[in-house]
Amino acid sequence: MSYLLGMDVGTSSTRAIIVSEDGRLVASAATEYPLSTPHPGWAEQSPEDWWRATVTSVRQAISQSGVQPAQIAGVGLSGQMHGSVFLDASNQVIRPAILWCDQRTAAQCEWITRTVGRDNLVRITANPVLTGFTAPKIIWLRDNEPDAFARVRKVLLPKDYIRFRLTGAFATEVSDASGTSLLDVPARKWSQEIMDAIGLPMSWLPDVYESPVVSAKISAEAAAATGLLEGTPVVGGGGDQAAGAVGNGIVEPGIVSSTIGTSGVVFAFAERPSTDPLLRTHTFCHAVPGKWHVMGVVLSAGGSLRWLRDTLGYTGYDQINAKAAEAPVGCEGLVFLPYLTGERTPYPDPYARGVFFGLSLRHDLRHMIRAVMEGVAYAHRDSFEILDAMGVETSTVRASGGGARSPLWRKIMADVTGKEHVTINVDEGPAYGAALLAGVGTGIYPDVPAACHAAITVESRVVPDPDAHATYSDFYKVYQALYPAVKDVYALDATMVERHIKT
């Protein structure tokens, strides 16, 4: 029997899984690493940490599985999107990678938009340029670290840096490249027009592939480090959301995923690159060749609950879930805005921050924990309402990510959105989708939908409670009113932070 290796270079860890050709999970290993915030609103990581975690996780997965390296037919890569890895002429990392949740590039986003032209930018990339995206990070380097900028010869996304370390090849694929503000999304290729307009050489960019296409093969050096067999094919893979969507079977109309990881994502399949008229969602290339997807993003979803967990000194989530279950639906008016690292959908605001609103003497820790979970659900409802207005079919919602492991949070999500949420037989997200893409690229499956149909089945369903949904719909009105009420204060606070916090 043949096996497939899927990897996900995440924000908190790198996961490696081994899947049999019939889609059965055989082994899973993850290795964590830190995230650095050297200045308010910044987020960085060392690419070398990703590589060390890759080596450790792959070796552990192979050992755990008992599979021989020669039985691994292909490797699929996934990872956190938008991050920028800058390499010099010797292919050495110049500085720490700037991550997807970093908010330092507001001025550079404005410059790119003016320089390219907003309408032109949206026509080519199908999206506005946002602070988390890759292009403004490159321009930030030019503006703020000119010596480092002068050394740049390649710019890679996180998973594609790992591809380089595994294969020696500079390559990416269309789904991850869609989040750079440098890809012609309708045409599924790099935009020479944008690169020329902002003064960047095309040679800095890696070759771009469709997600299931073999992009390179494991090198002798990487084989020695990881235990993989030299020459094993590595497919394009996918950005974490596109690969996660494949891992959830979001490869045909009507099936939507609702993911609570560090960030939160509502992801819908699209036959063509349609955009929200108000540009509140993202339209990217899907990992399914010739298809696209529409995506709403909450920057701090599970990240908000993790922040609260760590602040309270808990080591796990069981205590937190138990306490949240003791609080009533709607938390007696306590509402949380989960904007700890700025926000994207529906408010692309790098200055937005978290808020507890409605605190009273009646509220205690139980209410605060549940309010965080409900606030994330309200934020997801924002995305669902935009998709509904766009006419995007959302007949089935598949819950995924760490938040989906909580029965309470799944129920809150179903009750807040008013949409049935289901879980499936696998819970490995992007790594699993990357493995299925490797199966397509190596001929085990004929195409991506066939791979999903062969491997994925629905296991449980959560039907919305009408009374709870009615209560949440009332408090959702409060949630919706809060951001417009404090938007100007966010900008004022950001100014004060810049003035008074020095690093």
Positions marked active-site:
240
Residue type, 342: G
Query: Phi first, then psi: what are they for 159, rounded to 5°?
Result: -65, -25
d(CA 492, CA 502): 17
d(CA 36, CA 25): 32
C-beta neighbour count of 142 within 10 angstroms = 17
Q: Which letter does DSSP use for residue 70 in this model?
A: G
d(CA 380, CA 301): 9
User: What does 3-14 look like in DSSP terms, one character per residue?
Assistant: EEEEEEE-SSEE
d(CA 155, CA 464): 45
Q: Which helix (DSSP H) or strand (DSSP E) does residue 400 occupy?
A: strand 394-400
Token pair of 58 as six digits:
């792959």
Beta strands in 10-131 (DSSP E): 13-20, 25-32, 44-45, 72-79, 85-87, 97-98
Q: Which residue has the tokens 């790099």?
A: 190
The answer to whether the CB of 272 falls within 8 A of the CB of 228 is no
The answer to whether the CB of 125 falls within 8 A of the CB of 184 is yes
d(CA 147, CA 94): 10
Strand 254-260, strand 394-400: pairing: parallel
Of 292, 238, 240, 239, the closest CA to residue 262 belongs to: 240
d(CA 72, CA 328): 49
User: What does 136-189 look like in DSSP terms, one character per residue?
Assistant: HHHHHHHHH-HHHHHH--EEE-HHHHHHHHHHS--EEEHHHHGGGT-EETTTTE
C-beta pairs of 266-270 under 8 Å, 24+ apart in sequence: 266/295, 266/296, 266/380, 266/383, 266/384, 266/387, 267/241, 267/293, 267/294, 267/295, 268/293, 268/294, 268/295, 268/387, 268/392, 268/393, 268/394, 269/245, 269/293, 270/294, 270/392
In this structure, is the dihedral angle defined by the CA atoms of residues 96, 261, 130 and 493, taken in order, positive or negative?
Answer: negative
Strand partners, 235: 214
Q: Which letter does DSSP use for residue 127 in this model?
A: S
